[in-house]
A = this chain, B = another copy of it.
Amino acid sequence: MSTQPQERDRYVALSGGVGGAKLSLGMAHLLGERLTIVVNTGDDFEHLGLHISPDVDTAIYTLAGVVNPVTGWGRRDETWTFMAALQRLGGQAWFKLGDADLATHVERTRRLRAGETLTSITAHLAQSFGVKSRILPMCDEPLRTVVETDQGPLAFQDYFVRAQCRPIVRTVRFDGAESAQPSPQVRAALSDSALAGIIVCPSNPWLSVDPILAVPGLREAIRASGAPVIAVSPIIAGNAVKGPTAKIMRELDLQPGAASIAQHYAGLIDGFLIDSEDCALADTIAMPVRAARTLMHSLDDKVGLARECLDFCAALKLARGREARATGVPS
């Protein structure tokens, strides 16, 4: 029996911004429309009267091949005339909005005001960009990530962009979580009988994945799916590939390393994929571990890591089947 993904197998990825979008792109190359990406919207905010969904846009732009390859967010071949003009009018310029990017925010905001759901708008945008995989906001209700810091509570973008992650993180909370629920589309993706694996992308667990898991019922729906759940470590040799993950871990009194990340996801995941550099840590992690190259520079890197993820899911399923046969429990 092979561990190769089957033609009808479907997969769900949970993703934050840049790192998650990179792995999603790799998976999209292998799976096309058989991939559903559930994207963090805890970073969403109202700015200049526009509804901005940074992680959703990063997913769309990355999968559409129009993302800025230098920053990993925003659009390539962008112009900045709006921003320069706004600055001259004394407008708020701390959050950079390119001219083409702005079209996405204006169109999304217009449709939201007209009563469309974020899920439906995201589907329209992704389709306009020719994206085959399904990109789903984690929920349609506002759930806002608030970072409690030594300088008081900060809305996510105030912490992340305006304060450039400098404040010391005490804890992270998710305002509005109690009123949120997985959208019908997210529920359907997680209860699909062809679901062969759920991949938690190498995004920041506290800032990017926890908001997804904070949607009431979503964690339960993941477990109830019966599909193998794996996470990819966003930490290599104690350092974050990008962003403040390691800094936040230290501030939360955690050892910045793959083991702490695995611990954070305990009870949710069945297997943990670490970087080859961290091979020696495998024994310290109390679950199945696979090591692979997790740095993703080229498209080949992304597709390669995606293949490892799908293969790991298949291997976990196979092992579960063997175990069930050994113990007489039906798989």
By a beta-carbon cutoff of 8 Å, the part of chain A in contact with chain B is 48-50, 75, 78-79, 81-86, 88-91, 98-104, 106-107, 109-110, 113, 124-125, 128
Report if A91-B109 is in contact (Cβ < 8 Å); known contacts: A78-B81, A79-B79, A81-B81. Answer: no
- Cβ–Cβ contact B100 & A81, under 8 A: yes
Given A88-B128, A128-B89: A49 in contact with B99 (beta carbons within 8 A): no
Tell me whether B100 and A84 are in contact (CB under 8 A).
yes
Q: Is A109 a contact of B79 with CB atoms below 8 Å?
A: no
Contacts of A104 in B (CB 8 A): 85, 89
Known interface pairs A89-B128, A90-B128, A128-B88; A82-B100 also in contact (CB < 8 Å): yes
Q: Which residues of B are found within 8 Å of A102, using beta-carbon distances? A: 82, 85, 99, 102
Copies of this protein in the assembly total 2
Q: Are the CB atoms of A91 and B79 closer together than 8 Å?
A: no
CA distance A98 to B49 in the complex (A): 18
Given A48-B110, A49-B106, A106-B49, A99 and B86 contact (CB-CB distance below 8 Å): no
Residue of B nearest to A75 (CB): B85
- Residues of B contacting A125 with CB < 8 Å? 89
Query: How far apart sit A100 and B103, CA to CA, in the bound complex (Å)?
Result: 13
- In the A-B complex, the 3 residue pairs with the closest CB atoms: A85-B103, A81-B99, A85-B100
Given contacts A89-B103, A102-B102, contact A109 B49 (CB under 8 A): yes
Query: What are some 19 contacts across the A-B interface (CB < 8 A)?
Result: A48-B106, A49-B49, A79-B81, A79-B99, A81-B100, A82-B82, A82-B106, A83-B103, A84-B100, A85-B100, A85-B101, A85-B103, A86-B107, A88-B103, A89-B107, A90-B107, A90-B128, A91-B103, A99-B102
In the complex, the chain B residue whose C-beta lies closest to that of A97 is B106
Q: Report how far A159 CA is from B88 CA in the complex, Å.
A: 33
With A83-B103, A86-B107 known, 15 other A-B pairs at CB within 8 A are A48-B107, A49-B106, A49-B109, A82-B82, A85-B101, A85-B103, A88-B103, A89-B107, A90-B124, A90-B128, A91-B103, A91-B106, A91-B110, A99-B99, A102-B102
Chain B residues near A75 (CB-CB < 8 A)? 85
Q: How far is the CB of A91 from the nearest CB of chain B, in Å?
A: 5
Contact assessment for A86 and B103 in the assembled complex, using a CB-CB cutoff below 8 Å: yes
Which B residues are in CB contact (< 8 Å) with A48?
106-107, 110
| A81-B82 Cα distance, complex, nearest whole Å | 10
User: How many Å lie between the Cα of A98 and that of B101 in the bound state?
Assistant: 14
Minimum CB–CB distance from A87 to chain B (whole Å) comes to 8
Minimum Cβ distance to chain B for residue A53 (Å): 14
Residues of B near A85 (CB, < 8 A) are: 75, 99-104
